[in-house]
Structure 1
Amino acid sequence: MFDWLIGEDSIFDMGDRYPVLSRHFESNIEGLFVVGNLAGSPDIKAALNAGHDVAHHIAGLPPAGEGCDHDVVIVGGGPAGLNAALEFKKLGLRYLVLEKKGILSTIRAFEGDLILYYAVTGDREVRGDLPYRETTAGALLSGWGELLKARGLNLREREGVLGVQKVGGAFEVRTDRGVVTAGRVVVATGKLMAMKRLDIAEVEAPEGGIKARIDRTEMPHEFMRRCGIRLENTWNWRRYVALALTFAAVGAFYLIKKLTPDWVTMPASMPVVGGRNLAGLYPILYTVVVIAFGTQALFRWRRVNPFDRIQPRKYLMLMSFQAVFFCLLPEFVLHNWKAYGLVYAWPLTLSPVTVPDFVHDWSRVSTPDGPTLDPYHFYFYWTLFLSFVLIPAAAIFTGKQYCSWVCGCGGLAETLGDRWRHYSPKGPENIRRERYLFWITGATAAMTLLVGLGYDVRVHLGGGINAEAVNYGGVLMGVYSWAMDTFMIAIIPVSLYPFLGGKVWCRYWCPTAGFMHLVSKWFTERKVGRYRIESRKERCIACNLCSRYCEVGIDVRRFALRGEAFDNVNSSCIGCGVCITVCPTETLNFGAGPLMQIEGVEPLIPRPPLPLRGEGGNHPNGV
């Protein structure tokens, strides 16, 4: 009965969950650090830098575990663990690397000619003594093998770790050969690791050499939980209390704004906001929030991928539309709330609640020769033209990008809600729940027509509003005003930002998004629609960052591994472009876009253009 609230495929299922770490990779257990793939470093360059950085951070800490065998034990002999070991050796710390199989075992599983791409995300340079550029698996193993042999690391291969426990101020690391003590532990295993109780046991990799990719990797959630490592978005009593308090605070704000806006009124002498109550202040506050958090998000994604142009353009567009069309023009220039309809499509301005006002204002200034060309007449027709001509035409080329590049509702989700976008509900059941969007779209369309035709509030186009009819009915208007405008647009989705990401409204309830989805899907099915995100399967490393950061829950990795495009026929994509931004190997792009060229890094092979849908690619396999 409550499956939608609990467990896998519930609305709180966000897919892979990573440990909550400090900026120095320390978990909630003091002295236990997590780096590499397990910490969200998806590529070799990021893993190397994480290993280097954690080593230097630990070296700067006060000594721990007096009398222990080692200062640090590193669990895992991958790029992160080995680079950390090299730094510990240079810094004079007593360290030990424990590796159940052999060092770099994942890379050794690949065939020698497999291309290892140089990531475009993260820092430009590689820190530490292990050199790395775009190369092949065989060449990398050869070069690193010679270097590691010459350095003579304190390394014990084929020694499995059976348990890790903190006793007092030190750690006991139990292996299949005995017990090792250390002041600190660095867990540098990959996603192909799992744990039972406190035991670490490696999940066997597929037999034989892997030519192109690992189709699936698993996060060892049980391992981390039983070690006491806190995972992100873990539901406990504190989180439930936080959810309740958030709902209470957001609900109180919007209910005061709706019912008693004069409870907050600015003094008339104040510049700009003088005399405005809470409802009048709301567009200004909304704009400040969008610009403040939009700027923060812009720089955040710039740090993730310094070569990316998508997120800067998107956030600059969102902030510009919010400032100009959703604040300055309607509030300070035109002084008319209908001016929000210059960019807001049905039913965000023209809705079941506002249809009578649009028609009323138009009819009130009618003359025997017909309605005059006054602003109200313009807003009514312009909103219809925008909603049912311009946006459908744009959807042919941009799909539902209006939601994430223009719309003010989506703008708040993309800015304020950006930091929680990876909490979005994932899995097939949550995708199936998107069908509610179309029921709500249909219901909203029916309500708009019924109210507009006078079946809720009787509007007489020929002679204006009948004063008695204004009070007649109003049921549909009231239902929409409370259910949609108050709860489903505002209180519920905004309250859920820190728990389900920012796109609950856009994904499940917004009629504008539902209408655009139907239009984009219809045109695409008829080979007219141009919007899509293409993938290059030979470049995919199955890191899953694309799916993790998709705010509408698309399993992007599945499309990428198959080399398939996704659009509004097979997904609910809103074109935010974050999956493209976070991809370290340029697997994804809008349409047939070019690959980036990183300054100072020459590609191992010429990079061909992306083949159009339906055409084959001849790029050699790579990971």
Structure 2
Amino acid sequence: MIRRLLRDLLASPNLDARRPVVNERFESSVPGIYVIGDLAGAPVVKLAMAQGNDVAEAIAALPDARTPDPDAYDLVVVGAGAAGLNAALVAQDRGLRVLVLEKAKVASTIEDFPEGKWVYAEPDSKPPKGKLWLDGARKEDLLARWHQIIRDNNLPVRTEEGVTGVTRLSGGGFEVTTVKGVYRARRVILASGQRGNPRKLGIPGEDREQVYHRLYSPGHYAGEDILVVGGGNSAVEAALTLSERNRVTLSYRGSGFARVFKDNERKLREAQASGAIDVVLESNVKRFGESVYTLESGRGSAKKTEERPYRHAFVLIGAELPAEFLKSLGLRLENEWTGNPWLALLLTAFTLASLWMFGGKDPIGAVAALAGIAALVASGVRGSRWAWLGFSFLVCYTIYGAKMGENLEFFPYRGWGYRFFSFAGRPMSFWYTVAYTAVMTVFGVQAMKRWGFDRKDRFQIWRYVSLLSFQWIFFFLVPEFLFQYAVKYEWVGGLAKDPVFAGQAWRSYGIVYAWPLFFYTFFGSPHQVWVVWGVILSFGLIPLLVLFHGKRYCSWICGCGGLAETLGDRWRHYAPKGRRSIAWEGMNTVVLAAAAVITLMMLARDVVHLLRAPAEMGIVWYRLIVDVWLVGILPVTLYPFFGGKIWCRYWCPLAKMMQLFSAAFTRFKASRFAIYSNDKCIACGECSRNCQVGIDVMGFALKQQPLDNLSTSCIGCGICVTVCPMETLSFSAPPPLVQIRPARS
């Protein structure tokens, strides 16, 4: 059971298909091999073309872009789709010797579209890049233009020549092996996509001639018994089209069609009601015979097995990443837990033991600790993800364990850690704040460039300006400098002479941090100014902010959320996803309840003396568990593995309190916060992939349902709106439809 839970936890960031790990230049974990297009997550043709153009330009600009070997190519492109063709055309135009290898036909994904299908040129806001032509057109017209461009540019494209292997040569470059020959290349671009690898049921008879995994020409079928298997838009659209002239059964293993367009769902209900399509939910095809298939449907005691006739069957259950092929090339995939966990654990424990031996004095312990850290890093560089987890834990445990205070540090820092990190006349707590602000600034500027400037998105620019401003002003300058100046120069009037107020600089964090995030707002001998402000902030301003902006405090203001949105941004796609991960969000209800109970006990302990001991014990445990482990050590350790919002999503009591407020406002139709969808969703999944709190944003977009805090833990960061290539999502409600009646004559 524990092993299964661990496996489910480690796999929770995965969507339907993982991608190869690439850097910002689309170079894979194998230097010299680049990955673009569908494999790299390009959701639409125009963006795939842009990737091809950008990679080709970058490669052509390298000083060693051209090989001195006259028998080798400068660049071999695997895949003749939008990304691959555009990359090859641009690279050839820049003077590189290029070869394109394609296992099927040119633009085979588009070639496989149904006859007359329209190919869109979205997003409209971005002009096409490169030499391929792209405008809204029927597939036949688009393909004709592309073939003409290939001929006009004399681009060498070898179709029906699938690549079987790519091997690095000792002298540099690669040897590319295909079903027909062997080629040498300085660099390789993989643009083969994954739609050419249809997912299969893996049952007897699936290889029969009458069983297909694509629907090419629906008009060729008439008067037949046809089976369609699948629950996505491709399957539903195929069933609807085929039902016009045939008797169609649609089999789907799920209990409902959660991933289909709103209009497709409506049409399917109508077709089912009219008897045009027999929809069999919670069913599985067990085998295909010559003229009948075996269908198992129902659950438990209601399960039944029957044989049904068919002439043709279409298994349309998506495509699979060619994982085995990619791994054979040495490429790493996202969220692969590689390496030896026991070795990583041993090295981590060895390092901590060595630090205990060091104790601030023994140099042998210091040398041993450095050796342990070096071994972890070396193991990580060689590909061990477990080693990086150990290293990440060491860093975070050291920071938060030593920051507890002098003689309060965790093992092995007890008695020396706080002093060791205190220097230049400043305590470790000061340098922690300096480091926190510096890290947020460096990575915040990078994130601002990524989501704001590069995409020309003013919303994201101002969001990161807000996060960095709050961090610098309210979480660094005010508590560390301005509060002291305010007291020294009497900027706060008579309060400057009040020793209670003057000695509570640390409480200035509560100017922006609301209870229960700033847990000590109402106890610990606060000045009445802090108590009054705490009430106004927590139960006045926060609900007002939530009314209009939902939980945007987490993504625009909060320092905890700020670190997640800056340092944690590069790993946002690793956020746990799925129903189970959403169920885990109930943990923050427990933390909120604990904060409320302990606070009430602390306030009542002088009246009800029996509460004094449990209240003070509650403070000790809350500080240890929540303020150290749940807000610091664990979530920051897990940034590179589960994204940046572990604390905000699962444990933050203020986030939970805001969600309760927002859900109540939504329930009573008072909330002004939601994300809305139009009818342009193409089910690319980019919105769900990049959601730091693991929301199935695409599911809402497909159904055109508002996404709010009654149904999700959305923090209003807007990244889903930013990444959508079709401009489907918006914070503004779409205008209501108006029925125009013809004028009376």
Instruction: Please say whether Structure 1 and Structure 2 have the same fold, judged by a TM-score greater than 0.5.
Output: yes
Aligned in 2, Cα 1:53/1:528: closer, same or farther, shift over 3 Å?
Answer: closer
In structure 2, what is the equivalent of residue 171 of structure 1? 175
Q: Secondary structure at the match of 2:90?
A: helix
Aligned length: 553
Residue 481 (1) aligns with residue 650 (2)? no
Aligned in 2, Cα 1:65/1:187: closer, same or farther, shift over 3 Å?
Answer: farther
In structure 2, what is the equivalent of residue 130 of structure 1? 132
Contact 2:198–2:320 (8 Å) recurs in 1: no
Shift of 1:93: 5.1
In structure 2, what is the equivalent of residue 531 of structure 1? 673
In structure 2, what is the equivalent of residue 418 of structure 1? 569
* 1:149-184 Cα shifts (integer Å, max 9, x gaps): 444433333x15262242646424333xx3342324
* 1:535-571 Cα shifts (integer Å, max 9, x gaps): 1232x23332211111001111222223222111221
* Aligned partner (choices 684, 690, 694) of residue 553 of structure 1: 694
Contact 1:4–1:10 (8 Å) recurs in 2: no
* 1:505-540 Cα shifts (integer Å, max 9, x gaps): 0000001001111111121122121211111232x2
Contact 1:14–1:425 (8 Å) recurs in 2: no
In structure 2, what is the equivalent of residue 494 of structure 1? 636
Shift of 1:115: 5.7
Code of the residue aligned with 1:337 in structure 2: it is W
* 1:481-522 Cα shifts (integer Å, max 9, x gaps): 100011111111111112211100000000100111111112
Contact 2:475–2:509 (8 Å) recurs in 1: yes
In structure 2, what is the equivalent of residue 606 of structure 1? none
**Where does 1:293-308 land on structure 2 (aligned, <5 Å)?**
293-306=443-456, 308=457
In structure 2, what is the equivalent of residue 621 of structure 1? none
In structure 2, what is the equivalent of residue 348 of structure 1? 517
Q: Distance in 2 between matches of 1:616 and 1:78?
A: 42
Q: Distance in 1 between matches of 2:633 and 2:35?
A: 37
* Aligned partner (choices 153, 156, 160) of residue 154 of structure 1: 156
In structure 2, what is the equivalent of residue 429 of structure 1? 580
In structure 2, what is the equivalent of residue 192 of structure 1? 195
Instruction: Tell me whether 469-478 or 546-555 shows the greater mean CA deviation.
Output: 469-478
Contact 2:175–2:184 (8 Å) recurs in 1: yes
Q: Secondary structure at the match of 1:185?
A: strand
TM (normalized to structure 1)?
A: 0.79
In structure 1, what is the equivalent of residue 393 of structure 2? 247
In structure 1, what is the equivalent of residue 470 of structure 2? 321
Aligned in 2, Cα 1:141/1:469: closer, same or farther, shift over 3 Å?
Answer: closer
Q: Secondary structure at the match of 2:53?
A: helix
Q: Secondary structure at the match of 1:403?
A: helix
Contact 1:195–1:222 (8 Å) recurs in 2: no
* 1:433-482 Cα shifts (integer Å, max 9, x gaps): 1122222222222222122211xxx468xxxxx9x998886210111010
Code of the residue aligned with 1:315 in structure 2: it is Y
Instruction: Tell me whether 325-334 or 478-487 shows the greater mean CA deviation.
Output: 325-334
**Where does 1:280-299 land on structure 2 (aligned, <5 Å)?**
280-299=430-449
Instruction: Tell me whether 36-45 or 14-23 shows the greater mean CA deviation.
Output: 14-23
Code of the residue aligned with 1:265 in structure 2: it is S
Q: Distance in 2 between matches of 1:205 and 1:50?
A: 27
* Aligned partner (choices 100, 106, 128) of residue 103 of structure 1: 106
* Aligned partner (choices 199, 223, 238) of residue 325 of structure 2: 223
Instruction: Tell me whether 468-477 or 547-556 shows the greater mean CA deviation.
Output: 468-477
Instruction: Tell me whether 426-435 or 331-340 shows the greater mean CA deviation.
Output: 331-340
Shift of 1:343: 1.4
In structure 1, what is the equivalent of residue 598 of structure 2? 447
Q: Distance in 2 between matches of 1:29 and 1:288?
A: 32
Q: Secondary structure at the match of 2:4?
A: coil
Code of the residue aligned with 1:287 in structure 2: it is T
Code of the residue aligned with 1:510 in structure 2: it is C
* 1:252-310 Cα shifts (integer Å, max 9, x gaps): 1112111324444344xxxxxxx43112343343333323322221112235412x111
* Aligned partner (choices 398, 406, 422) of residue 265 of structure 1: 422
Q: Distance in 2 between matches of 1:476 and 1:575?
A: 33
Q: Secondary structure at the match of 1:584?
A: coil
In structure 2, what is the equivalent of residue 519 of structure 1? 661
In structure 2, what is the equivalent of residue 368 of structure 1? none
Q: Secondary structure at the match of 1:340?
A: helix
Q: Secondary structure at the match of 2:659?
A: helix
Q: Distance in 1 between matches of 2:431 and 2:633?
A: 18
Q: Secondary structure at the match of 1:33?
A: strand
Code of the residue aligned with 2:157 in structure 1: it is L
TM (normalized to structure 2)?
A: 0.67
Contact 1:417–1:497 (8 Å) recurs in 2: yes
* 1:102-149 Cα shifts (integer Å, max 9, x gaps): 32233341664736243378xx55443223356665654454344334
Shift of 1:327: 2.5
Aligned in 2, Cα 1:529/1:413: closer, same or farther, shift over 3 Å?
Answer: same
Q: Distance in 1 between matches of 2:143 and 2:439?
A: 50
Aligned in 2, Cα 1:428/1:304: closer, same or farther, shift over 3 Å?
Answer: farther
Aligned in 2, Cα 1:442/1:22: closer, same or farther, shift over 3 Å?
Answer: closer
Code of the residue aligned with 1:128 in structure 2: it is G
* Aligned partner (choices 119, 125, 129) of residue 123 of structure 2: 119
In structure 2, what is the equivalent of residue 334 of structure 1? 483
Code of the residue aligned with 1:542 in structure 2: it is A
In structure 1, what is the equivalent of residue 79 of structure 2? 76
Q: Distance in 1 between matches of 2:461 and 2:710?
A: 27
**Structure 2 gap segments, 5+ residues each:** 200-206, 219-233, 238-259, 262-315, 340-383, 407-417, 485-504, 741-745
Higher relative contact order (CA 8 A, sep 6+): 1
Aligned in 2, Cα 1:84/1:617: closer, same or farther, shift over 3 Å?
Answer: farther
Q: Distance in 2 between matches of 1:431 and 1:226?
A: 35
Q: Secondary structure at the match of 2:188?
A: strand
Q: Secondary structure at the match of 2:403?
A: helix
Q: Secondary structure at the match of 2:404?
A: helix
* 1:46-80 Cα shifts (integer Å, max 9, x gaps): 32233234445555536569586865443222111
In structure 2, what is the equivalent of residue 311 of structure 1? 460
**Where does 1:23-102 land on structure 2 (aligned, <5 Å)?**
23-58=24-59, 61=64, 72-90=75-93, 94-102=97-105
Q: Secondary structure at the match of 2:546?
A: helix
Q: Secondary structure at the match of 2:523?
A: helix
Code of the residue aligned with 2:694 in structure 1: it is G
Aligned in 2, Cα 1:52/1:322: closer, same or farther, shift over 3 Å?
Answer: closer
Root-mean-square deviation (Å) = 3.4
Residue 396 (1) aligns with residue 547 (2)? yes
Q: Distance in 2 between matches of 1:559 and 1:36?
A: 25
Aligned in 2, Cα 1:207/1:445: closer, same or farther, shift over 3 Å?
Answer: farther
Aligned in 2, Cα 1:402/1:134: closer, same or farther, shift over 3 Å?
Answer: farther
State the structure with more CA Rg: 2
Contact 1:535–1:564 (8 Å) recurs in 2: yes
In structure 2, what is the equivalent of residue 599 of structure 1? none
Q: Distance in 2 between matches of 1:110 and 1:617?
A: 33
In structure 2, what is the equivalent of residue 571 of structure 1? 712
Aligned in 2, Cα 1:66/1:402: closer, same or farther, shift over 3 Å?
Answer: same
Contact 1:611–1:617 (8 Å) recurs in 2: no
* 1:395-445 Cα shifts (integer Å, max 9, x gaps): 122111111111111111111211221221122221221122222222222
In structure 1, what is the equivalent of residue 296 of structure 2? none
Code of the residue aligned with 1:52 in structure 2: it is N
Q: Distance in 2 between matches of 1:12 and 1:164?
A: 29
Q: Secondary structure at the match of 1:163?
A: strand
Contact 2:196–2:319 (8 Å) recurs in 1: no
Aligned in 2, Cα 1:484/1:91: closer, same or farther, shift over 3 Å?
Answer: closer
Q: Distance in 1 between matches of 2:17 and 2:405?
A: 42
Q: Percent identity?
A: 39
Aligned in 2, Cα 1:168/1:411: closer, same or farther, shift over 3 Å?
Answer: closer
